[in-house]
Amino acid sequence: EDKVVQSPLSLVVHEGDTVTLNCSYEVTNFRSLLWYKQEKKAPTFLFMLTSSGIEKKSGRLSSILDKKELFSILNITATQTGDSAVYLCAVEAQGGSEKLVFGKGTKLTVNP
Amino acid sequence: NAGVMQNPRHLVRRRGQEARLRCSPMKGHSHVYWYRQLPEEGLKFMVYLQKENIIDESGMPKERFSAEFPKEGPSILRIQQVVRGDSAAYFCASSPRLASDTQYFGPGTRLTVL
């Protein structure tokens, strides 16, 4: 059965800190890995990763995938209180119904 | 370009009643997915639909739950004879086409069963 495990489950930091969120996965016929940010509403798309070793960046956020070791990390530098959210990692398998398998998320709290 | 729309945002039902959740995908998107999120849990896939077709319903309970995506109008997730365990946030996502397309999520419907 496809599985996604995120760590840590929760994290509390101070503004300005750098954080690294982890996502490991087991999936048959991997297609892509996605990161979402969920505040008290819709998960909003951050990144889609399909190739190993290629970093994707968006402002203070970046992410990279390692298909050999089956994990991804999401980095946030110079954190701000607005980064407080649950960060969700999901994987999609090829040949299936395009459904996403989600981890439980990492709850990030950034204190001023 | 409006995003994925879901209504109602909050729905309260008593045990035994029916719940109908609606999802309008983004303009130009013809693929709809429903996910359920229980407290302290990740999102769990329920069903994947295209217009007038259920493609994968492997995540949907066999009884009381049904979904449709008609040719015209929104996709509907229907839960009959709701029980307390159905209380959850139900999210809809849409994507434009198959393979490698990002799924964009709606704001969710929070169902509370009294």
Asked whether the beta carbons of B10 and B90 are under 8 A apart, the reply is no
Counting every residue written for chain A, the total comes to 112
What pLDDT band is residue A28 in, cutting at 50, 70 and 90? confident
Q: Note down pLDDT in tens along chain B; length 114 residues.
A: 579 999 999 999 999 999 999 999 998 888 999 999 987 788 999 999 998 899 999 999 999 999 999 988 999 999 999 999 999 999 999 988 754 578 899 999 999 999
The C-alpha angle with vertex B65 and arms to B107 and B90, in degrees rounded to 5, equals 15
Listed by number, the residues of chain B in 40-79 with a beta carbon closer than 8 Å to a beta carbon of chain A are 40-45, 48, 55-56, 58-59
Are A32 and B35 a contacting pair at CB < 8 A? no
> How many angstroms away from the CA of B17 is the closest CA of chain A?
26
* pLDDT at residue A96 is higher than 80: no
Domain boundaries, chain A: 3-111
Kindly state the helix (H) or strand (E) to which residue A57 belongs, with its residue range: strand A56-58
Domain A3-111 maps to which CATH number in 2.60.40.10, 2.40.170.20, 3.40.220.10, 3.40.50.880? Answer: 2.60.40.10
> How many angstroms away from the CA of A96 is the closest CA of chain B?
9
